[in-house]
């Protein structure tokens, strides 16, 4: 790709941000007015991940005697400019994603939780996968373990993948992963709008409320997100309440599962350890999302399929094809 030409993820992010501004016109101008708050924070986090990855890679390269060559790549004008572009658009696409998800109750108020629950039962021979897996993992030590590790595994995976790809010395790899990642989250966000749902723990609380002492962390976070959701819905009644932009609520598809699958697909072709680690992460998040009530079974299946589509699509972009 010639220097200075826009990457796909830049064009796609800008297009989605403009689309967001168009669909919320007359409702709110906050996606534009809050841009200077959220986007720089995410961009700064991306730069910190890149810096951490650079330090780790240089330390490993020093043991092999190749640190000088690697440092030359990191000091090159092209790598530094790409890093800045990646950081800026990481902030913009995350801001755009957050606002699309947050605006779901205003853009499409109808909920499809019952339909998703019924679809799950149809797939699972008339039995709810959520109820089935909650029963299978009902032993208190298992539920407490899932409760404690679910969010930790998810956020750890975000950081591991972020550090790995943000610091990659190869331009094609960094751009290709970013293309697929932006596709994943922004397409996923609009699928949220197309098929709104809260998730089984919200729609069918009778399954999970008796387990509150064993799922304390999960249910605390679920209450926090629902409070935020209610604050957004209150806008429909003209009641102004504070809310957090990145605390939207949506279930279909599961982007928790989707990101693990996307990272797995990339990692397995790059490192043996990465394929194993993210393969385990993907399975754990898929099962954990059902057990904790964040998602329906079909959410995870759709998320995994979306990840494969975005991964495959990224291979088709000529500028970054390996």
pLDDT confidence tier of residue 236, bands split at 50, 70 and 90? low
- Nearest-angstrom CA–CA distance, 154 and 104: 23
For 142-198, the DSSP string reads HHHHHHHHHHHHHHHHHHHHHHHHHT-S-HHHHHHHHHHHHHHHHHHHHHHHHS---
Report the pLDDT averaged over residues 6-18: 94
Least confident of 1-15, 47-61, 120-134, 216-230: 1-15
Mean of pLDDT values over 168-175: 92
Ranges 43-52, 89-98, 178-187, 269-278: which has the least confidence: 269-278
CA angle (162 as vertex; 156, 163 as ends), nearest 5:
90
**What pLDDT score does 1 carry?**
44
Distances (CA, A) of 94 to 16, 86, 184, 270, 277: 11, 12, 11, 26, 25
* pLDDT-derived band at 237, boundaries 50, 70, 90: low
Distance between CA 196 and CA 229 in Å, rounded?
A: 13
What are the tens digits of pLDDT across the range 59-99? 998 988 888 899 999 999 999 999 999 999 999 999 999 99
């Amino acid at each position: 790709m010639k220097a200075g030409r826009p990457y796909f993820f830049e064009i796609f992010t800008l297009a989605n941000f403009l689309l967001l501004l168009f669909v919320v016109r007359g409702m709110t101008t906050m996606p534009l007015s809050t841009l200077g708050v959220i986007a720089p924070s995410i961009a700064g986090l991306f730069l910190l991940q890149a810096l951490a990855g650079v330090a780790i890679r240089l330390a490993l390269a020093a043991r092999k005697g190749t640190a000088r060559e690697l440092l030359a790549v990191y000091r090159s004008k092209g790598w530094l400019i790409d890093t800045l572009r990646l950081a800026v658009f990481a902030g913009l696409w995350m801001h755009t994603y957050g606002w699309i998800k947050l605006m779901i109750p205003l853009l499409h108020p109808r909920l499809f939780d019952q339909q998703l629950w019924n679809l799950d039962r149809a797939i699972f021979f008339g039995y709810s996968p959520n109820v089935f897996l909650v029963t299978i993992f009902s032993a208190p030590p298992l539920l407490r373990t899932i409760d404690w590790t679910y969010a930790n595994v998810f956020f750890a995976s975000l950081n591991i993948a972020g550090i790995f790809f943000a610091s990659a010395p190869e331009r094609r790899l960094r751009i290709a992963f970013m293309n697929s990642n932006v596709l994943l989250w922004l397409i996923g966000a609009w699928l949220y709008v197309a098929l709104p749902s809260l998730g089984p723990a919200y729609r069918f609380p009778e399954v999970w409320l008796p387990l509150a002492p064993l799922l304390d962390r999960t249910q605390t976070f679920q209450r926090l997100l629902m409070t935020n959701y209610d604050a957004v819905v209150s806008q429909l009644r003209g009641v102004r309440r504070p809310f957090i932009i990145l605390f939207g609520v949506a279930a279909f598809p599961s982007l928790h599962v989707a990101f693990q699958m996307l990272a797995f697909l990339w990692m397995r072709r790059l490192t043996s350890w990465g394929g194993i680690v993210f393969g385990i992460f993907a399975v754990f998040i898929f099962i954990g999302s059902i057990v904790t009530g964040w998602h329906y079974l079909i959410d995870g299946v759709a998320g995994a399929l979306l990840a494969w589509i975005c991964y495959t699509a990224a291979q088709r972009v000529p500028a970054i094809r390996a």
